[in-house]
């Protein structure tokens, strides 16, 4: 088949990484695989393999003339490539996909990555929120099928749009997938731990994600500050950038965590950090199905997290990780301390986490599912 992934940019977010990996997997399956970027290439462009054709449209979203021009260029490109399927990711790309589907240019498969699709990002503006909701309703009619990355995302979208019957059946769950890394040898692991400043037997707690309200890393800092004096030696590294960076740095200083906490910024290869880690912590307030969580589980890390939708889709409390109620940062501190003190528990939960991801979220499995959907075998 001739297939393409459409996304706004190639920053280091989960949806962007997923689009790259889907494009890579489609090419490996023998498809003519394309990755179309609406705005600019971004950091992940270097990760796009030669087997995938990359197209950058140079959109300026604040310029109406640029928007119109991008629609025209995208239409011409899709026709020139004679695409069989176009999968779009995140709201702006989904909106562009609607214009193509409405005009019959290509079969479009919009993807919903978040269970709060109508209340985050630019949709915080009431007008944009209504426009986004209207566009998604039209996508359920004109799109070939809508893809949700988890059961929780499907349920949230169905409730928001009041989907029933045929329209509900065209909302298909395809869980996010990741490439399963090879186990890290002990020497490599020690070298990577030294890279991140881990000394001796310190327990390394890892966080990965945008420094934003949604990811809620302030609660992780409060959890760390609540650890008792008898807790094992630890260090915490959080990878990611975002608008709350200075706020988190100030909070860390006020809580006396400066010497043990590293805000590492964006890391090109997050698997380096995960391979060095002992515990993965996800204090998010809401999620769809976080790619960082699946990557951490694939690396064999036990999880400490809030028990939100999207996380509960893959983590059973006491099996692959330990969950606490949302907002209970003291409880999060207690489960972190429990994991820090019990290496056998960490290893048991980590093995279960890796096995679950291998069975349900390996990229080969996800790619095969998408191939059936592109071919019209919707469920």
Local structure of residue 202 (DSSP, 8 states): P
Residue 99 scores a pLDDT above 90: yes
Tell whether the model's pLDDT for residue 64 goes beyond 90: no
Q: What is the mean pLDDT of residues 41-65?
A: 91
Sequence ranges of the chain with CATH classification 3.40.50.2000 = 2-177+362-374, 186-360
List pLDDT tens digits, range 189-225.
999 999 999 998 999 999 999 999 999 999 999 999 9
Per-residue pLDDT, averaged over 87-103, amounts to 95
pLDDT (average), residues 238-253:
96
> Confidence class of residue 377 from pLDDT cuts 50, 70 and 90?
confident
The architecture that CATH gives domain 2-177+362-374 is: 3-Layer(aba) Sandwich (3.40)
130 vs 4: which has the higher pLDDT: 4
pLDDT band at 318 (very low <50, low <70, confident <90, very high): very high
pLDDT digits (tens, 9 = 90+) for 168-191: 989 999 999 999 999 889 999 999
Position 343 pLDDT exceeds 90: yes
Total-model pTM: 0.91
3-state secondary structure of 132: helix
pLDDT tens, residue by residue, 275-301: 999 999 999 999 999 999 999 999 999
- Of residues 4 and 169, the one with the higher pLDDT is 4
CATH fold label, 186-360? Rossmann fold (3.40.50)
User: Which distant-in-sequence residues (6+ apart) come within 8 Å of 318 by Cβ?
Assistant: none
- pLDDT the model gives residue 125: 73
Spacing of C-alpha 355 from chain mean position: 19
Q: Which two tokens stand for residue 354?
A: 């890796």
Query: Does the pLDDT value for residue 126 go beyond 80?
Result: no
pLDDT of residue 379 exceeding 60, the answer is: no
The pLDDT score that the predictor gives to residue 120 is 61
Q: What is the DSSP string of 157-191?
A: HHHHHT--HHHHHTEEE----BPPPPPPPHHHHHH
Which helix (H) or strand (E) covers residue 111, if one does? strand 108-112
* Packing angle, helices 329-341 and 217-225, rounded to 10: 60
pLDDT at 121: 61
The predicted structure's pLDDT at residue 11? 82
DSSP alpha helix (H) spans, the chain: 14-28, 64-81, 91-102, 126-142, 151-161, 165-169, 186-195, 217-225, 245-255, 270-276, 291-298, 329-341, 343-360, 363-374
pLDDT cut 70: percent of the chain above it: 98
């Amino acid at each position: 088949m001739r297939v393409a992934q459409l996304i706004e940019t190639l920053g280091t977010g989960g949806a962007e990484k997923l689009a790259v990996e889907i494009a890579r997997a489609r090419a490996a399956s023998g498809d003519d695989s394309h990755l179309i970027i609406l705005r600019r290439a971004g950091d992940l462009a270097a990760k796009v393999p030669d087997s995938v054709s990359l197209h950058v449209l140079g959109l300026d979203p604040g310029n109406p003339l640029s928007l119109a021009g991008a629609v025209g260029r995208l239409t011409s490109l899709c026709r020139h490539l004679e695409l069989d399927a176009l999968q779009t990711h995140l709201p702006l790309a989904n909106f562009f996909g609607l214009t193509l589907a409405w005009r019959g240019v290509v079969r479009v498969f919009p993807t919903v990555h978040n269970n709060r699709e109508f209340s985050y990002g630019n949709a915080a503006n009431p007008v944009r929120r209504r426009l986004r909701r209207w566009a998604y309703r039209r996508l359920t009619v004109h799109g070939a099928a809508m893809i949700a990355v988890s059961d929780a995302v499907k349920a949230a979208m169905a409730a928001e749009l009041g989907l029933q019957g045929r329209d509900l059946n065209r909302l298909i769950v395809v869980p996010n997938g990741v490439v399963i890394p090879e186990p890290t040898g002990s020497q490599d692991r020690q070298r990577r731990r030294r890279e991140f400043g881990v000394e001796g037997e310190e327990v390394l707690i890892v966080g990965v994600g945008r420094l934003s309200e949604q990811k809620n890393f302030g609660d992780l800092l409060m959890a760390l500050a609540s650890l008792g004096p008898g807790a094992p030696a630890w260090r915490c590294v959080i990878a990611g950038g975002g608008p709350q960076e200075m706020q988190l740095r100030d909070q860390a200083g006020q809580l006396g965590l400066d010497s043990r906490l590293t805000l590492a910024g964006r890391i090109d290869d997050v698997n380096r950090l995960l391979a060095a880690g002992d515990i993965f912590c996800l204090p998010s307030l809401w999620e769809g199905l976080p790619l960082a969580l699946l990557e951490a589980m694939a690396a064999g890390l036990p999880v400490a997290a809030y028990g939100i939708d999207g996380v509960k889709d893959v983590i059973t409390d006491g099996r692959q990780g330990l969950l606490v109620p949302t907002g209970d940062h003291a409880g999060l501190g207690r489960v972190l301390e429990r994991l820090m003190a019990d290496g056998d528990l960490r290893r048991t939960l980590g093995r279960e986490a890796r096995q679950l991801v291998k069975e349900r979220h390996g990229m080969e499995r996800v790619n095969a599912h998408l191939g059936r959907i592109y071919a019209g075998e919707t469920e």
